[in-house]
Structure 1
Amino acid sequence: MNDAYIEKAATDLLMQIYRDRRYLWPDQDVIPMMMRSPSIAALVCGYDFQVHSTLGDTQFNRHNTGTRIAGLIDRQSIKIAVATEFGEKVQLFTGAHEIGHLVLHENTVMHRDRAFDGSPLQIPRPPAERQADRFAACFLMPQKLVRERFEFMFCCSGQLRFSDVIAYHLDPINPDRLLYAPKESKERELALARCTRFNNRNLVSLAQQFGVSDSAMAIRIKELDLVRWP
C-alpha cells in the first residue's frame, strides 16, 4: 500500500462527501473546508462517531493497560470514538486517523490509538499506523485545497521561490536562518506553516486554517513540494 494509493483513498472519500453534501448539510451551503470532517466521513461510511471527554475508563480500556487512549475504532459495534482531553488538534487528527483505519484496514476489528497530532516522532510507527497517519494528513489537508490557500497567502503560482525577501518576510529578525537552512531541516516549511503576517498582510496561519499542528502542515508542504529550493 503506497502513498499514492492512500492519497487516492482519502480523496475518493472527500469526493463522496462532496457528492452527498446536500443530504449531509440540507439547510446550508458548505465550503470545502467543512467537508474535512471525521464525523461526517464516519456517517458516510455508515459508522457512529462518538466524542467523549476520556476513553481511559474500563468501558473502552478493558485490559486496564494504563495507556491513555485518544481514539478507537470498533467494527463490531460500528463506531468510532475520540477523546477531547488531548485538545482540538489531536482530536481532529485522531478522528481522521481512525477513518484511515476504517477505509484502509478491513481486517481491523477493534483498535485503540494513543494521542498523536501528525508531528514527527523519534520512534518509528508500525506500518498500519503510518498508513492511517498518511490518510489523515491527506484527508485533513487535501492537495488541491492546500495549494490554493498556499498560493493565495504567499502570492505565488505553483512553487514559492525562496529568496532573501521571502526570508525577511517570514523572519525579519533573523532571515538568514531560513535563507541558508538545510533542505532536510523543514525550517522553511515550518515558517510557512505558522506564518501569520506576510507581504504587509495579517493572516491566519495555514496550520490554524486546517486545524492541524505546525509540524503536520510543514510535512504536508514538503510532500507537495510547494517550496522551490535552489
Structure 2
Amino acid sequence: MNRESIQQAAHRLHKEIWDNQERLWPNRHLTPFQMLAPEVAAHILGLDYQLLPNLGSPLFGREGERFKAAGLMNRSIRRIAVSTEFPMNVIRFTGAHEVGHFVLHEDEVMHRDKPLDGSARGQSRPPKEREADYFAACFLIPARLLLDAFAAQFQMKGPFPFTDTTCYHLNPSDPWSLLNAERDSLDREISLARCARFNNRNLIPLSVQFGVSDIAMAIRIRELQLVRWP
C-alpha cells in the first residue's frame, strides 16, 4: 500500500470526526488536538476501544523475541485494547497504530504489538507494521495542522533555516552541533520537535502539543520537509 492511500485513509477519519463533532461532544468545543485521539477514531469505526492496566504476560515474537504487548486488535469482535502501563505518548501511538491495522489490513483478524512511540519508523520492519506506523503518524499529526502549528511556533512559513542565530536560539549551550548536523541524522528535526523556548518566547513543544514522542514528531517534520538544508 502506498503512502498516498494511507494518508487518504487517515484523512477520511479526520473528516468523519470533524463532521460528527457536535454528536460526539454535545455542547463542547474541542480543539483539533483534543479530537485526534485513537479512541475517537475507534468510536467512529464502531469499535470497542479499551484501556487496560496490562495485556497479560510477555509474549514471544519474531526470532524468539520476548515482549510485553501494549496493543491488541481483534477484528472478529471489533475490539482494540491498549495497555496503560506505558507513557501517554506510547499509549496514543500504539492505539493509533492498532486503528491503522484495522483500517488498512482487512486480512488481519488478530494482531498484537509491543509498545510503540513512533521511533521505530526508520528501522527495518515488516511492510504492514510500517504502514500502520505511517497511518498512526498521519492520524495523530495531520500535515495541515502541523504546518499551521509550525508556522505559529517559529513565526515563519516554510522550511526552518539553521543559521548561526537560529541554532543559538534552539541550543544556546552548543549551537555548533545543530549548525554542523549531518543531513541523515534527526538532530535538527528533534531540536524543533522539543523546542520549548525560541526568540525569547516560551513555547509548548510541538511534540507535547500533539501528544507524541520527540522522535515521532521529528520524523514527521522531516517527512514534511520543514528543515532547510543548504
Counterpart Cα distance in 2 of 1:121 and 1:160: 23
2:97 equivalent in structure 1:
97
Q: Which amino acid aligns with 2:219?
A: I
- The verdict on how the C-alpha distance between 1:69 and 1:167 changes in structure 2, with shifts beyond 3 A counting, is same
Counterpart Cα distance in 1 of 2:30 and 2:121: 35
Q: Which amino acid aligns with 2:103?
A: V
SS of the equivalent of 1:81 reads strand
SS of the equivalent of 1:185 reads coil
Shift of 1:57: 4.9
SS of the equivalent of 2:49 reads strand
Identity across matched positions, percent = 50
- The verdict on how the C-alpha distance between 1:5 and 1:178 changes in structure 2, with shifts beyond 3 A counting, is same
Is the Cα–Cα contact under 8 Å of residues 89 and 212 in structure 1 kept in the other structure?
yes
Residues 1:180 and 2:168 aligned together: no
Residues 1:81 and 2:85 aligned together: no
SS of the equivalent of 1:120 reads helix
Is the Cα–Cα contact under 8 Å of residues 141 and 220 in structure 2 kept in the other structure?
yes
SS of the equivalent of 2:156 reads coil
1:133 equivalent in structure 2:
133
Shift of 1:124: 1.5
Shift of 1:120: 3.4
Counterpart Cα distance in 1 of 2:105 and 2:212: 24
For residues 194-213 of structure 1, what are the structure 2 equivalents within 5 Å?
A: 194-213=194-213
Residues 1:22 and 2:14 aligned together: no
Counterpart Cα distance in 2 of 1:105 and 1:123: 21
Shift of 1:67: 3.3
Counterpart Cα distance in 1 of 2:7 and 2:109: 23
1:145 equivalent in structure 2:
145
Shift of 1:5: 1.2
- The verdict on how the C-alpha distance between 1:123 and 1:192 changes in structure 2, with shifts beyond 3 A counting, is closer
- The verdict on how the C-alpha distance between 1:169 and 1:100 changes in structure 2, with shifts beyond 3 A counting, is same
Is the Cα–Cα contact under 8 Å of residues 52 and 84 in structure 1 kept in the other structure?
yes
Is the Cα–Cα contact under 8 Å of residues 194 and 205 in structure 1 kept in the other structure?
yes
Counterpart Cα distance in 1 of 2:171 and 2:38: 35
- The verdict on how the C-alpha distance between 1:129 and 1:146 changes in structure 2, with shifts beyond 3 A counting, is same
Residues 1:158 and 2:158 aligned together: yes
Is the Cα–Cα contact under 8 Å of residues 121 and 130 in structure 2 kept in the other structure?
no
Root-mean-square deviation (CA, aligned residues, Å) is: 1.8
Q: Which amino acid aligns with 2:160?
A: L
Is the Cα–Cα contact under 8 Å of residues 51 and 84 in structure 2 kept in the other structure?
yes
- The verdict on how the C-alpha distance between 1:19 and 1:198 changes in structure 2, with shifts beyond 3 A counting, is same
Q: After superposition, give the CA deviation of every residue in 1:82-135 in whole Å (9 maximum; x if it has no partner).
A: 000122111000000001001101111111111110013785211101100000
Residues 1:50 and 2:50 aligned together: yes
Residues 1:39 and 2:44 aligned together: no
2:62 equivalent in structure 1:
none
SS of the equivalent of 2:147 reads helix
Q: Which amino acid aligns with 2:197?
A: R
Counterpart Cα distance in 2 of 1:130 and 1:70: 17
SS of the equivalent of 2:26 reads coil
Structure 2 length as normaliser, TM-score?
0.94
Gaps of 5+ in 2: 60-64
Structure 1 length as normaliser, TM-score?
0.94
Is the Cα–Cα contact under 8 Å of residues 97 and 132 in structure 2 kept in the other structure?
yes
Counterpart Cα distance in 2 of 1:219 and 1:5: 19
Counterpart Cα distance in 2 of 1:23 and 1:123: 40
